[in-house]
Chains A and B, each alone.
Chain A
Amino acid sequence: MDLNTLIQMLDATVRLATPLLLACLAGLYSERAGIFDIGLEGKMLAAAFVAAAIASVTGQVYLGLLAGIGASLLLSAIHGVASITFRGNQLISGVAINFLAAGLSVVIAQSWFRQGGRTPQLSGEGRFRSITLPFAESLSGVPVLGPIYAELISGHSILVYVAFLTVPLTWWLLFRTRFGLRLRAVGENPAAVDTAGVSVIGLRFAAVGICGILCGLAGAYLATGLQTSFTKDMTSGRGYIALAALIFAKWRPWHALYACLLFGFLQVIPLRPDLITNTLGLRLNGQLLEALPYILTVVILAGFVGKAIPPRAGGTPYVKER
């Protein structure tokens, strides 16, 4: 494997890791506040559909992005009402949201565009273009570092940079601000937060809201950045992989970045089976490569790579008075 192929694969890794990273950070806010969210998948899917639909109708990708975030926030609100206000089962609520998005997106897409549950192809202003960072062209001649800068770091769409910048931002917000301290506290011991006079319900809704925004970005990137239209079930389990990455990262932002890059890389491998054959000298079966991220997730969950301890109050609704 030469440098160019390696850069190509890492470049693809960055692209495929972006939706995972956004969804993973979304789950991080929610779960740190004590709300389990297996509805990441559904929120991404809803955002992907609405973003692609609005972008294709208006021709403006940013309108699509806003609408996608709106759709994702709406599902977040349902999750919040069900699991915070009515103290329902958070896992079941998440499952319901996933099916709601899977069903509604196709039903509406079919009645709107009549293309078998997909949206028209986006072009021009309708999708996110890649951004060339300054000096990328002129520096590409520099050995080793030049191609890395020009191919790997430059030339992604704006949402990729947003996703990677969200990592330090999340770290700062969670570990260096008052809001972050309270958010983490509400996931560990909500009664203590309540005693201090801070609203548990308010904090949890804020966390679920942030989760909705980030899932919206992830979904919009899928349909308008990575691909050029919405297709049925296009998230294909990314929401669940993001959850697995979150557990792997033990609910920490920087580790979430590494976990998502790893899972992104695992998604790239099946696209280049020839490379595996050449470098490792063995022929791996296509279906095995397909299943690899899921198998690895189970291995990680089994705790062979250190024990993952979730936020203590995760999954339990807060009751103010007994």
Chain B
Amino acid sequence: MDAMPKWAEVTLVPLISLLLAAILSALVILAIGENPWAAVKLMVSGALGSTYGWGYTLYYATNFIFTGLAVSIAFQARMFNIGGEGQALVGGLGVALVLLYLPFPHWTIALIASAAGAALFGAAWAFIPAILQAKRGSHIVITTIMFNFIAASLLNYMLVGPIKAPGQEPATSKFPATTQLPSFQDMFSTADTVLFRGAPANVTFFVGIAACFALWLLIWRTRLGYELRAFGHSESAAKYAGISPTKIIVVSMLISGGLAGMMAINNVQGEAERLVLNAVEGAGFIGIAVALMGRSHPVGVFIAALLFGFLYQGGAELALWTSIPRELIVVIQALVILFTGALDNMVRMPLEKVFLSMRRPPKPDRKSTTARAAE
């Protein structure tokens, strides 16, 4: 018997957690001598008040859809993939290598090839921690953290050495013009009105939505998804049912790493159009908060990614116009992880009590009462 109806489980618990995180963030803003209400108004107008703001919000949201889905699929198999940051970095390397060294006549073909490259590189980066967890029992949390650091060193090396463009900057040269993805400005502007002017949101957003749908299909409509969830619920039961733990761990981590890597088609191919240092900017870690808030469900992840896209763009506006630094978003992210992930029971227990007390007592049934009396 569930103590709470399903709708309350998926809406009330995350919303109350979010509210708690918002209240604490407001206190932080107050403590550093700024006005929280003015900050919220600035964030809303900066992130949602214009198509330009929306263009940035949706661009960031696209990043978080991919990293959020990556953490979610691993969560479904009860794996904690903290390595999204490193996998997205290496995915960017995959995108850069594909676009720099292969000729493409049109962006559609380039998109398919770069997505494949990104997913392949990201998945490869997740493979070693996965196989070590499955075969040697090394804790996946620690190994994926280590792989984040190793990925950063690898990218440093590549960008000052082998694939560096001539010049001062540690970056590759610009990708060919035929590989540029259409931005929202190209797609939605008419001759008279220019929408999303200069904003980086691009066609990858729709790839992200497609990825959400594909992942939903995979988790709830395929045999593999069933095995994955079964393994997540109970490893021993799954083993007894003939599901191979090695296969589930490796496959779930490969999908996870591939999704994290695919973030690179948004930020590397779509926005920067070349590979720069630290291109991921923490989006891999925000994926953890997004997955927790979205309850590891693709729809939830999509909504949570939009919310974090708003927070990220709003936070950038705050840093621009007030003395509140950009790191405030890291604090909000931490509070969301804390309340939706670690302090979940603190929110849930009182709610369950409320719902239990609201439930009508079952009608007394003559048969069962007499049966109990006879025992």
Contact B149 A237 (CB under 8 A): yes
Rounded to whole angstroms, the CA-CA distance of A301 and B327 in the bound complex is 33
Contact B82 A99 (CB under 8 A): no
Contact A103 B330 (CB under 8 A): yes
A290 and B338 contact, Cβ closer than 8 Å, known pairs A99-B333, A106-B327, A302-B132? no
0/1 string, B331-375, CB within 8 A of A gives 1: 111110110011111100100000000000000000000000000
A243 and B142 contact, Cβ closer than 8 Å, known pairs A99-B330, A100-B334, A301-B132? yes
Specify which of A88, A237, A243 is in contact with B342 (CB 8 Å cutoff). A88
A100 and B150 contact, Cβ closer than 8 Å, known pairs A107-B32, A303-B136? no
**Segment at the interface with B among A90-98, A175-183, A186-194, A254-262:** A90-98
Rounded to whole angstroms, the CA-CA distance of A270 and B80 in the bound complex is 31
Rounded to whole angstroms, the CA-CA distance of A237 and B338 in the bound complex is 20
Contact B157 A288 (CB under 8 A): yes
Interface residues of B in 123-175 (CB under 8 A from A): 128-129, 132, 136-139, 141-143, 145-147, 149-150, 153-154, 156-157, 160
Asked whether any CB of chain B lies closer than 8 Å to the CB of A198, the reply is: no
Which among B145, B160, B285, B346 has the greatest number of chain A C-beta atoms within 10 A? Answer: B145
- Chain B: interface residue count, which band? 35 or more
B341 proximity list for chain A (CB < 8 A) = 88-89, 92-93, 95-96
A285 proximity list for chain B (CB < 8 A) = 157
- Chain A: interface residue count, which band? 35 or more
What are 19 A-B interface contacts by the 8 Å CB criterion?
A86-B345, A95-B288, A96-B334, A97-B338, A100-B334, A103-B327, A103-B330, A106-B327, A107-B28, A107-B325, A110-B323, A111-B33, A111-B325, A240-B145, A288-B157, A294-B147, A294-B149, A298-B128, A298-B146
Rounded to whole angstroms, the CA-CA distance of A243 and B156 in the bound complex is 25
0/1 string, B1-36, CB within 8 A of A gives 1: 000000000000000000000000000100111000
A82 proximity list for chain B (CB < 8 A) = 338, 342-343, 346
A291 proximity list for chain B (CB < 8 A) = 149-150, 153-154
Name B's A-contacting residues (CB within 8 A): 28, 31-33, 80, 82, 128-129, 132, 136-139, 141-143, 145-147, 149-150, 153-154, 156-157, 160, 285, 288, 292, 323-325, 327-335, 337-338, 341-346, 349
Contact A91 B80 (CB under 8 A): yes
Contact B142 A92 (CB under 8 A): no
Specify which of A89, A102, A247 is in contact with B327 (CB 8 Å cutoff). A102
Specify which of B132, B150, B325, B332 is in contact with A294 (CB 8 Å cutoff). B150
Contact B342 A297 (CB under 8 A): no
A301 proximity list for chain B (CB < 8 A) = 132, 136, 138-139, 142-143, 146
Rounded to whole angstroms, the CA-CA distance of A110 and B138 in the bound complex is 39
Considering only CB atoms, which chain A residue lies closest to B33 in the complex? A111
Rounded to whole angstroms, the CA-CA distance of A14 and B214 in the bound complex is 52
A95 and B343 contact, Cβ closer than 8 Å, known pairs A103-B329, A117-B327, A291-B150? no
B149 proximity list for chain A (CB < 8 A) = 237, 240, 291, 294
Rounded to whole angstroms, the CA-CA distance of A179 and B213 in the bound complex is 54
Rounded to whole angstroms, the CA-CA distance of A244 and B138 in the bound complex is 11
Contact A290 B342 (CB under 8 A): no
Main secondary structure of the interface of B (DSSP, over half): helix
A244 and B146 contact, Cβ closer than 8 Å, known pairs A93-B342, A96-B342? yes
Considering only CB atoms, which chain B residue lies closest to A300 in the complex? B138
Contact A298 B157 (CB under 8 A): no
Name A's B-contacting residues (CB within 8 A): 38, 78, 81-83, 86-93, 95-100, 102-104, 106-108, 110-111, 117, 237, 240, 243-244, 247, 285, 287-288, 290-291, 294-295, 297-298, 301-303
Contact A103 B142 (CB under 8 A): no
Contact A100 B335 (CB under 8 A): yes
Considering only CB atoms, which chain A residue lies closest to B137 in the complex? A303
Contact A244 B285 (CB under 8 A): no
Rounded to whole angstroms, the CA-CA distance of A139 and B80 in the bound complex is 54
Specify which of B137, B147, B154, B333 is in contact with A287 (CB 8 Å cutoff). B154
Contact B338 A93 (CB under 8 A): yes
Rounded to whole angstroms, the CA-CA distance of A240 and B145 in the bound complex is 8
Rounded to whole angstroms, the CA-CA distance of A82 and B345 in the bound complex is 9
A89 and B342 contact, Cβ closer than 8 Å, known pairs A103-B334, A107-B324, A117-B325? yes
Contact A302 B334 (CB under 8 A): no
Rounded to whole angstroms, the CA-CA distance of A93 and B337 in the bound complex is 8
Distance in angstroms from A214 CB to nearest chain B CB is: 19
Which among A92, A98, A285 has the greatest number of chain B C-beta atoms within 10 A? Answer: A92
B136 proximity list for chain A (CB < 8 A) = 301-303
B143 proximity list for chain A (CB < 8 A) = 298, 301
A104 proximity list for chain B (CB < 8 A) = 28, 331, 334
Q: Known pairs A100-B338, A103-B334. 17 more at Cβ < 8 A?
A: A38-B145, A83-B342, A99-B334, A100-B331, A102-B327, A104-B28, A106-B327, A108-B32, A117-B327, A237-B149, A288-B153, A291-B153, A298-B147, A301-B132, A301-B146, A302-B138, A303-B138
Distance in angstroms from B144 CB to nearest chain A CB is: 10
B343 proximity list for chain A (CB < 8 A) = 81-82, 86, 88, 93
Rounded to whole angstroms, the CA-CA distance of A88 and B333 in the bound complex is 18
A78 and B338 contact, Cβ closer than 8 Å, known pairs A107-B328, A244-B142, A288-B157? yes
Rounded to whole angstroms, the CA-CA distance of A81 and B333 in the bound complex is 19
Considering only CB atoms, which chain B residue lies closest to A301 in the complex? B138
Considering only CB atoms, which chain A residue lies closest to B341 in the complex? A92
Contact A88 B345 (CB under 8 A): yes
Contact A298 B132 (CB under 8 A): yes
Contact B346 A86 (CB under 8 A): yes
Which among A82, A96, A247 has the greatest number of chain B C-beta atoms within 10 A? Answer: A96
Per CB-CB distance, the 6 closest pairs between chain A and chain B, nearest first, are A103-B330, A93-B342, A99-B334, A92-B341, A103-B331, A111-B32
B128 proximity list for chain A (CB < 8 A) = 298
A110 and B142 contact, Cβ closer than 8 Å, known pairs A91-B80, A302-B136? no
